[in-house]
């Protein structure tokens, strides 16, 4: 396939437009702002939100297009990366050719457009992962991404930006629901019970563990089930699910051949004034200190990578482990709303993961 730089394949006006937008500052919003603003989605609110997105989304996309064009180690010209870049360019074009949003009819059409854009970008993560995998193969198997900090930092920025774009689109689209579930403002639920979300994530992670190993360690939850706070339940589920899969795998592999029961994994939910913290503790043997920095890099895994066989990876992987994305992506989700994720290990014993979620939600989105 002939590699085409953007300047060869796009018109000069479009190219200039992308450059111009990429120089504009991105505008961040906070969880609190999203809730206050869209508590009662009147026609005017929807119109205002659409007008904001009509201006903001092209700016965010343009930042990414320029970055995707200028990656080190010739990553920009890998076929999967070009594919991702072209999705960003197509969405940029679609948004820029959409006329000003002036009334509710325009607003409906615009909502349909951004909904389609969100679908277009569904497979960005696995597609980028294929590009990174090809780079890894070029550079030799020995070199991990922790030796390529600029690629790692790019991926952190890129995926963080993606979380933000999808949150903004998802939120706007969800405000159009005729009968929103009780307590929901778009994608945000004003009273999420972390204990309940943890229970669901446990069921899902244990099922995945069962499918892979034929059995699954127990998981116990400690915390007040009636405690609730405002968050995006899908984000919370995803983070807890990823942490549990890691713990289940570690415990399962360590105790697979043992003749006694394996120690349960413990999930503790704490509600502080500032943070809601969820700790997931396992006795799965821990992570050696020398490996601790690597766990945050993309594509570092101690599982057999399905990517190495040239297999396509799925957006919602149905397997226990193997992509190396679980931890770094979960940390981005936590940071997106001002939280964080820490992993502390005692080699020879087990691992504790601390998921901190900012409670007030008035921290602005990070805008890479
Ligand atoms: N609780 C844990 N106990 C022991 N090792 C762990 C634990 N959590 C993570 N690790 C180590 O960190 C590595 C990276 O974890 P991460 O979740 O990012 O990727 P993965 O589990 O290998 O693949 P996936 O993308 O499917 O999650 C794991 O392969 C494992 O070696
Ligand atoms: Mg994992």
- pLDDT tens digits, 252-272: 999 988 888 899 999 999 999
Asked whether the predicted pLDDT for residue 2 surpasses 70, the reply is no
Domain edges within the chain: 9-184, 187-358
Asked whether the predicted pLDDT for residue 1 surpasses 60, the reply is no
**Angstrom distance (rounded) from CA 363 to CA 4:** 40
Which residue's alpha carbon is nearest to atom 7 within ligand 1? 246
Residue 49, φ and ψ in degrees, nearest 5: -65, -45
State residue 30's pLDDT score.
85
Of 32 and 345, the structure prediction assigns the larger pLDDT to 345
Nearest bound ligand to the CA of residue 306: 1
In the predicted model, what is the mean pLDDT of the chain? Answer: 90
Asked whether the predicted pLDDT for residue 99 surpasses 60, the reply is yes
Parallel/antiparallel/unpaired status of strands 188-192 and 184-185: antiparallel
CA angle 122, 127, 129 (to 5 degrees): 120
State residue 311's pLDDT score.
52
Are the C-beta atoms of residues 9 and 348 closer than 8 Å to each other?
A: no
Beta strands per DSSP E along the chain? 184-185, 188-192, 219-222, 229-231, 265-271, 275-282, 340-346, 350-358
- State in Å: Cα 278 to ligand 1 middle: 18
Asked whether the predicted pLDDT for residue 170 surpasses 70, the reply is yes
44-53, 174-183, 283-292, 340-349: segment of lowest average pLDDT: 174-183
State residue 143's pLDDT score.
64
State residue 329's pLDDT score.
95
Nearest bound ligand to the CA of residue 247: 1
Nearest bound ligand to the CA of residue 319: 1
- State in Å: Cα 249 to ligand 2 middle: 9
Q: What percentage of the chain has pLDDT greater than the value 90?
A: 67
- State in Å: Cα 324 to ligand 2 middle: 6
Residue range 82-98: mean pLDDT, rounded: 97
State residue 133's pLDDT score.
86
- State in Å: Cα 338 to ligand 1 middle: 23
Which of 250, 290, 291, 301 best tests ligand 1's pocket when mutated (most atoms within 8 Å of CB)? Answer: 301
What are the tens digits of pLDDT across the range 114-163?
A: 999 999 999 999 899 899 888 888 887 666 556 688 888 999 999 999 99
State residue 317's pLDDT score.
46
What are the tens digits of pLDDT across the range 292-324?
A: 988 998 877 788 765 555 555 544 445 666 778
β-sheet bridge partners, residue 351: 282, 345
Which of 255, 286, 313, 327 best tests ligand 1's pocket when mutated (most atoms within 8 Å of CB)? Answer: 327
**Residue 94 confidence class, pLDDT cut points 50, 70, 90:** very high
Q: Which atom of ligand 1 is nearest to the CA of 284?
A: 3
Nearest bound ligand to the CA of residue 328: 1
Task: Check if CATH label 3.40.50.2300 holds for domain 187-358.
Answer: no
Q: Which atom of ligand 1 is nearest to the CA of 317?
A: 26
DSSP assignments along 4-27, one per residue: --HHHHS-HHHHHHHHHHHHSPP-
State residue 206's pLDDT score.
97
State residue 324's pLDDT score.
83
- What lines the ligand 1 site, CB under 6 Å? 242, 246-247, 250, 282, 284, 287, 295, 300-303, 317, 321-327, 351
Fold of the CATH domain 9-184: Butyryl-CoA Dehydrogenase, subunit A; domain 3 (1.20.140)
State residue 75's pLDDT score.
93
Residue range 49-65: mean pLDDT, rounded: 97
99-103, 112-116, 185-189, 337-341: segment of lowest average pLDDT: 185-189
Which residue's alpha carbon is nearest to atom 21 within ligand 1? 321
Of 240 and 42, the structure prediction assigns the larger pLDDT to 240
DSSP assignments along 339-361, one per residue: -EEEEEEETTTEEEEEEEEESS-
Residue range 326-349: mean pLDDT, rounded: 96
State residue 319's pLDDT score.
60
40-49, 196-205, 222-231, 267-276: segment of lowest average pLDDT: 40-49
9-184 and 187-358 share one CATH topology?
no
Which residue's alpha carbon is nearest to atom 12 within ligand 1? 295
Which residue's alpha carbon is nearest to atom 20 within ligand 1? 324
| Dihedral sign of CA atoms 140, 309, 299, 116 in order | positive
Of 176 and 321, the structure prediction assigns the larger pLDDT to 176
């Amino acid at each position: 396939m002939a590699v085409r730089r953007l300047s060869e394949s796009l018109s000069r006006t479009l190219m200039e437009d992308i450059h111009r937008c990429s120089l504009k500052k991105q505008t961040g919003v906070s969880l609190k702002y999203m809730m206050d603003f869209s508590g009662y989605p009147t026609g005017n609110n929807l119109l205002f939100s659409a007008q904001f997105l009509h201006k903001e989304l092209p700016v965010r996309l343009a930042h990414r297009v320029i970055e995707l064009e200028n990656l080190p180690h010739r990553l920009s010209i890998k076929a999967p990366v070009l594919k991702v870049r072209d999705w960003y360019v197509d969405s940029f074009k679609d948004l820029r050719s959409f006329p000003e949003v002036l009334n509710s009819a325009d607003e409906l059409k615009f909502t349909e457009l951004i909904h389609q854009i969100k679908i277009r970008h569904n497979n960005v993560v696995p597609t980028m992962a294929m590009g990174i995998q090809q780079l890894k193969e070029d550079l030799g198997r020995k070199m991990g991404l922790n030796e390529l900090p600029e690629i790692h930092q790019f991926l952190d920025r890129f995926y963080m930006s993606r979380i933000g774009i999808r949150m903004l689109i998802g939120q706007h689209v969800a405000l159009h629901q005729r009968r929103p579930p009780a307590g929901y403002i778009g994608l945000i639920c004003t009273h999420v019970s972390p204990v309940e979300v943890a229970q669901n994530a446990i069921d899902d992670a244990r099922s995945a563990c069962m499918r892979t190993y034929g059995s699954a360690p127990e998981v116990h939850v400690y915390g007040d089930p009636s405690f609730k706070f405002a968050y995006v339940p899908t984000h919370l589920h995803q983070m807890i699910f990823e942490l549990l899969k890691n713990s289940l795998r570690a415990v399962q592999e360590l105790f697979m051949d043992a003749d006694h029961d394996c120690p349960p994994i413990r999930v503790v939910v704490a509600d502080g004034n500032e943070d809601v913290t969820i700790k997931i503790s396992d006795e799965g043997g821990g992570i050696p200190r020398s490996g601790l920095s690597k766990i945050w890099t993309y594509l570092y895994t101690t599982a057999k990578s399905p990517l190495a066989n040239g297999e396509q990876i799925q957006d919602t992987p149905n397997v226990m482990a193997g992509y190396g994305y679980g931890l770094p992506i979960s940390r981005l989700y936590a940071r997106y709303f001002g939280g964080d994720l820490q992993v502390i290990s005692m080699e020879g014993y087990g691992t504790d993961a601390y998921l901190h979620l900012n409670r007030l939600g008035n921290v602005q989105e990070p805008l890479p």
